[in-house]
Structure 1
Amino acid sequence: MSCHYAKVIVKGSPISKSNFKLFNTQGRAILPYNSGKYHDRYALYEEEIAYAAMNQNPNITITESLIAVLKVYYKSSKRHPDTNNITKSIFDGIEKSGLIINDAQVRKLYIEEFYDPENPRFELELFSESHYDIGYKICKRKDPLSPIEYSPPSNKKSTHSLSLNSKASKVKSGKLCDICGKALGENEGVSANKGNTFICTTCFKKLF
C-alpha cells in the first residue's frame, strides 16, 4: 500500500556501519552476520531495524522522493558514534524492510542529537515530498548557552608519520587471527576495523 508518511522507532544505542566492515581479497566491503564475533553486530542491527519498520508500518511502501527527520537519542553524551555516520546503517535497514524502495529517495534529511540514558533509541519520520515540505531558520540566541566543546580522542595520533610508525610496529610484532588465534605472516589474512582486527584465510572462507 502506498503512503505519504511513516514513522519508525528502534530502541537501543544506534551503531555506525563504518566500524563493522571487513574487506575480502578483492577489496570489497562485506558484513558478516554469523561469525560469532563483534562484527556480527551491524548485520543484526540492520535486521532489527528492518523488522521494526515492517511491524510499525505494515503493508506500507513509499515509492516517491522523501523528506526524512531523524532524532537520535544516545545513552551517553561522551561516548557515541558520529551522528553523521549512523544514517547509512539506519537507511540500509529501512530499505531492507521494504518501507522504501531505495535510500536514494531521501532528498532532504534533518538530524537532531539528544541524550537519554534510560531509553536510547532513534526516531525516524518519513514524509513524501508531494504532500509535505520542510523549512528551517537559524537565529541568534538571546541568552547564549554554555558551549559543548570537542577535542581529539586521547589515542588519536597527532601526525601522519606517527600513524605510519604505529602500523609498521604492528606488522613487525606479528598478528593473530581474531577468530582462531592463528599467527599470521606479514602479508597473510584479511584486515578490518581500520587495521585493528585480523582474520586468517581459512576462517575468512568459513564465514562466507
Structure 2
Amino acid sequence: MSDYAKIIVNGSPITKSNFKLHNKDGRAILPYNTGKYHDRYALYEQEIAYVARLQNPKIVLEEGLIAILKVFYKSEKRHPDTINISKSIFDGIEKSGLIVNDAQIKKIFVEEYYDKENPRFELELFAESSYDISYSINKKETPTEKTIYSPIKNSKTLKTSDKKKSEKKDSPKASKEKLQCEICNKYLKEGEYLKGNGGKTLICRACFSNLF
C-alpha cells in the first residue's frame, strides 16, 4: 500500500467557493456542458481528477493524510482566496480515486507563491502512519517589505458609497453651507433669505429691501 503521492496541475488555480447553482429540486449542482462561464468549475475538477490519476496510477490512499499544498498564482494582485481554493482541489482529488474521501485530510499546510510564466498547484500527500510533520515560527532579524491588502470594492459597494455621498451632499446641513445671497454673497441661514427665479436665486432680506 502506498503512503505518498504528489500531484502537479498546471494552469491558474480557481475556486468555486462563491459559486451557487441549484437544480429545480434545490440541490446544488456543478454543470460542465452548458457553454457558459460557470462550466469551468466542473471542468477544472475533472482536469484535476485526470491529472492526479495519470501521475499516480494504481495508487489509493485510504488512511489519514498530511497535505502540503503550494499554490502558484499568475498575479500577485488578482487571484482567488487561497484559504478557499483547497476545497476545489480536494474535490478533484477525491474524484480521481486517489483518496477515498477528502475527510482523510487531517493536517493541511497551504503556501501561496507567484509564477507569472507557470501558474499551477503542487500537492503532496503523506500517510499519517508513515510520516509526521513539524513547523516553527521565527521572528525575522530584518523585517521585509510589507504586503498591504485593501478591502475589495464591488459594484454594489460602490453604488452604496455613491448613494451615501449623494445623500450627504443633498442633506440640509450641506445645503445650508451653500446658501449665499446673489448680491452680497453673504452666507445665509434658513429664514434669512427670499427666493426668486423659481428658487434658483437667493437674496438676503437686507439686499431685497435695498432694491426698493
Q: What are the equivalent positions in structure 2 for 1:1-208 lying under 5 Å apart?
A: 2-155=1-154, 162=160
On the 8 A contact 1:47/1:93 being kept in 2, the answer is: yes
Q: What is the distance in 1 between the residues matched to 2:53 and 2:122?
A: 15
TM-superposition CA deviations, 1:122-154 (whole Å, max 9, x none)? 000000000000111111100101111101113
Q: What is the distance in 2 between the residues matched to 1:156 and 1:34?
A: 29
**TM-score, normalised with respect to structure 2:** 0.72
Per the TM alignment, residue 20 of structure 1 is displaced from its structure 2 partner at its CA by 3.5
Percent identity (aligned): 67
Per the TM alignment, residue 94 of structure 1 is displaced from its structure 2 partner at its CA by 0.4
TM-superposition CA deviations, 1:138-175 (whole Å, max 9, x none)? 1110010111110111326559x949x9xxxxxxxxxx
TM-aligned CA distance change 1:27 to 1:98, over 3 Å: same
Per the TM alignment, residue 57 of structure 1 is displaced from its structure 2 partner at its CA by 0.3
Which ranges in structure 2 are unaligned for 5 or more consecutive residues? Answer: 164-212
Counterpart AA for 2:111: E
User: Number of aligned pairs?
Assistant: 162
TM-aligned CA distance change 1:141 to 1:157, over 3 Å: farther
Q: What is the distance in 2 between the residues matched to 1:154 and 1:73?
A: 24
On the 8 A contact 1:77/1:115 being kept in 2, the answer is: yes
- Partner of residue 199, structure 1: none
- SS, match of residue 54 in structure 2: helix
- SS, match of residue 71 in structure 1: strand
Work out which structure has the larger RCO, using CA pairs closer than 8 Å and 6 or more positions apart in sequence. 1
Q: What is the distance in 2 between the residues matched to 1:145 and 1:156?
A: 34
On the 8 A contact 1:68/1:106 being kept in 2, the answer is: yes
Instruction: Choose 90-99 or 22-31, whichever is displaced more.
Output: 22-31
Q: What is the distance in 1 between the residues matched to 2:124 and 2:113?
A: 16
Over aligned residue pairs, what C-alpha RMSD do you find? Answer: 2.0
Q: Which runs of 4+ in 1 moved over 4 A?
A: 156-159
- SS, match of residue 46 in structure 1: helix
Q: What is the distance in 2 between the residues matched to 1:162 and 1:41?
A: 31
Counterpart AA for 2:146: P
On the 8 A contact 1:51/1:97 being kept in 2, the answer is: yes
Counterpart AA for 2:98: L
Per the TM alignment, residue 34 of structure 1 is displaced from its structure 2 partner at its CA by 0.5
Per the TM alignment, residue 41 of structure 1 is displaced from its structure 2 partner at its CA by 0.1
On the 8 A contact 1:21/1:39 being kept in 2, the answer is: no
Q: What is the distance in 2 between the residues matched to 1:93 and 1:44?
A: 10
Structure with bigger gyration radius: 2
On the 8 A contact 1:15/1:42 being kept in 2, the answer is: yes
Per the TM alignment, residue 30 of structure 1 is displaced from its structure 2 partner at its CA by 0.9
TM-superposition CA deviations, 1:86-109 (whole Å, max 9, x none)? 111100110000100000000000
